[in-house]
Amino acid sequence: MNAIEDLYIEDLHARDDSAPILTASDVTRLYGERVGCREVNFSLWPGEVLGIVGESGSGKSTLLRCLAGQDRPTSGVITLNFDGAPLNLFDIPEPRRRQLMRTKWGIVHQNPRDGLRMDVSAGGNIGERLMDRGDRHYGKIRTAALDWLSRVEIETNRVDDYPRHFSGGMQQRLQLARVLVPEPKLVFMDEPTGGLDVSVQARLLDLLRVLVRDLGIAAIIVTHDLAVARLLTDRLMVMKDGMVVEHGLTDQVLDDPHHAYTQLLTSAVLAA
Amino acid sequence: MPAMIKVHALQKHFVMHNQGGIRLPVFSDVDFEVEAKEALILHGESGVGKTSLLRILYGNYKPSGGKILVMHNDRYIDLATTTPRTILAVRRKTIRYVSQFLRVIPRVTTLDIVKDPLLARGVDDATATHKAKDLLFRLNLAERLWNLAPATFSGGEQQRVNIARCFVDPAPIFLLDEPTASLDAKNRDVVVDLISEAREAGAAIIGIFHDEDVRDRVATRRLDLTQFKKAA
């Protein structure tokens, strides 16, 4: 019998020494008197999936918009680190931030119509992102588009069809392909399975999980669905009234919640 | 033999904030160590905290006090105080856990579920597939089920998927919560063999087994939790 050491396969995904890809320090967004989110602190490492849960109005979408560079926080700092050179997200010029948004990170919207160009073919929706990155070779772009369609389980003969002729689930998968084709290091998702039928949700969940794992992407997923959070995320932040009330390992937060609000949230769910 | 896991002054209670802040004690002053090549069986009546203890050792429940030192990458890490990231790393490399129930994404096939822990550690697909199939075959799970999602499987079939997922990628520590509860005699024997092989190869086992026969065949030592319940 082998010694137990021989039974190990070296952990290729061990990333113990790496620096966080994103750090939020005291991020606060106020809308006049009203609190969007307040004093949010956390770090996200490469390959990690963080969930943010809470009811509507808890500030989770506001926080996501700040983290993704779409909404400037009232105070606090968001630091991104893609290649060993940390940068302060709201300290860089707008054009540079926009360029980074198209190449280094991606945003998956709840409504695929917000993330897709509905008057551009499926292949065009994917290819456009490669052209943003500087790719010019038509054949290569076309090949990449076909490859990504099959990765998100869309028949490749739909490449020239418009997304408006796709079902909701297909549109969402196309959006995923459009976001992932430039190989971002970081992806933000706002209720990615929100508007979908339960059966379509399951397929998308598995697809998301596999893509995130295989590409080593770090992701932040906002959802109000605790089952989605359990299946997709490593760590979980629970928000209420703009504040993070509990933060930890996803299964620990869901199975042994400590804050009164988290206990209420987890006990209110029908077991499935 | 070095201790693979050392538990010191461990205590756990739940506080139910929405039920008048009631405090539910589970246990306190739990002390034990488990070395490599040992199999410690947790003992005591239902409600004594056996499953809670296993969940704490896996990082699934948060201890209310005490230390849980786990040998990870040749040094001890205290699961009670470490970061979620470290717990995830410990789970990938050092600890395997078989829960009483299988919890997976709907529609994912049995083969993919069993391969997953290997793929998550960066093992190539061919190797992962090969290992997963070997184990499913050994656990007598009919081949026609491998490409189906386990949602419609019987309790015993689901349990074998759960066991396969745990043993496909052996680790220095195994936490087993009634892994043989719904298995027939033939498959119970397979699981007992898997556990014994892992132990002889150097793993430390901590488990809950209600079947007296299985308990006798697996255990090298027993720990009765009743004493700690009284202390809580």
Q: Is the pLDDT of residue A21 over 60?
A: yes
- Looking at residue B63, its pLDDT comes to 97
Q: A2 and chain B: CB distance < 8 Å anywhere?
A: yes
Of residues A138 and A12, the one with the higher pLDDT is: A138
- Looking at residue A53, its pLDDT comes to 95
Q: Given pLDDT bands bounded at 50, 70 and 90, which one contains residue A7?
A: very low
- Looking at residue A41, its pLDDT comes to 97
CB neighbours of residue A233 within 10 Å = 26
Q: What percent of chain A has pLDDT over 70?
A: 92
Q: Is the pLDDT of residue A11 over 80?
A: no
How far apart are the C-alpha atoms of A9 and A188, rounded to whole Å? 32
Q: Which two tokens stand for residue A168?
A: 């909701």
How far apart are the C-alpha atoms of B52 and A10, rounded to whole Å? 31
Can you tell me whether residue A30 is helix, strand or coil? strand
Q: Which two tokens stand for residue A49?
A: 């999936």
How far apart are the C-alpha atoms of A187 and B73, rounded to whole Å? 31
A263/B203 CB distance under 8 A: no
Written as one string, the DSSP assignment of A42-68 is EEE-TT-EEEEE--TTSSHHHHHHHHT
Q: Given pLDDT bands bounded at 50, 70 and 90, which one contains residue A4?
A: very low
Written as one string, the DSSP assignment of chain B is --EEEEEEEEEEEEEETTTTTEEEEEEEEEEEEEETT-EEEEES-TTSSHHHHHHHHTTSS--SEEEEEEEETTEEEETTTS-HHHHHHHHHHTEEEE-SS----TT--HHHHHHHHHHHTT--HHHHHHHHHHHHHHTT--GGGTTS-GGGS-HHHHHHHHHHHHHTS--SEEEEESTTTT--HHHHHHHHHHHHHHHHTT-EEEEE---HHHHHHH-SEEEETHHHHHH-
CA terminus-to-terminus distance, chain B: 31
Q: Which two tokens stand for residue B105?
A: 């994404």
Residues facing residue A51 across a β-bridge: A221, A236
- Looking at residue A15, its pLDDT comes to 43
CATH class of B3-94+171-231: alpha beta
- Looking at residue A1, its pLDDT comes to 38
- Looking at residue B188, its pLDDT comes to 95
Tell me the domain boundaries of chain B: 3-94+171-231, 104-168
Average pLDDT over residues A223-246: 93
Q: A256 and chain B: CB distance < 8 Å anywhere?
A: yes
Pair B174, B195: CB distance under 8 Å: yes
Q: Is the pLDDT of residue A3 over 80?
A: no
- Looking at residue A270, its pLDDT comes to 61
Which positions in chain B touch A23 (Cβ < 8 Å)?
Answer: none
Long-range contacts of A156-159 (CB under 8 A, 24+ apart): A158/A122, A159/A121, A159/A122, A159/A123
A208 Cα to chain B: minimum distance (Å): 11
**Parallel, antiparallel or unpaired: strands A243-249 and A235-240:** antiparallel
Nearest to B85 among A45, A199, A258 (CB): A45
How far apart are the C-alpha atoms of A172 and B159, rounded to whole Å? 34
Nearest to A248 among B36, B84, B89 (CB): B84
How far apart are the C-alpha atoms of B104 and A227, rounded to whole Å? 10
Q: Is the pLDDT of residue A10 over 60?
A: no
Test mutation, B56, B105, B121, chain A, max A CBs within 10 A = B105
Measured at the CA of A17, the angle between CA A14 and CA A22, to 5 degrees, comes to: 95
A213/B119 CB distance under 8 A: yes
Test mutation, A1, A12, A13, chain B, max B CBs within 10 A = A13
Pick the closest to residue A27 from A180, A224, A239, A272 (CA basis).
Answer: A239
Determine which of A169-183, A203-217, A220-234 has the lowest per-residue pLDDT on average.
A203-217
Q: Is the pLDDT of residue A36 over 60?
A: yes
Q: Is the pLDDT of residue A192 over 90?
A: no
Looking at this protein, which amino acid is placed at residue A167? S
Give A110-156 pLDDT, tens digit per residue.
899 999 999 999 999 999 988 888 888 999 999 999 999 998 889 99
Q: Is the pLDDT of residue A171 over 60?
A: yes
B84/A260 CB distance under 8 A: no
- Looking at residue A17, its pLDDT comes to 59
A260/B14 CB distance under 8 A: no
Give B90-131 pLDDT, tens digit per residue.
999 999 999 888 877 778 899 999 999 998 888 999 999 999
Tell me the domain boundaries of chain A: 118-183
Residues facing residue B14 across a β-bridge: B24
Residue spans of chain B under pLDDT 50: none
Q: Is the pLDDT of residue A216 over 90?
A: no
Q: Given pLDDT bands bounded at 50, 70 and 90, which one contains residue A2?
A: very low
**What's this model's pTM, rounded to 2 decimal places?**
0.90
Can you tell me whether residue A219 is helix, strand or coil? strand
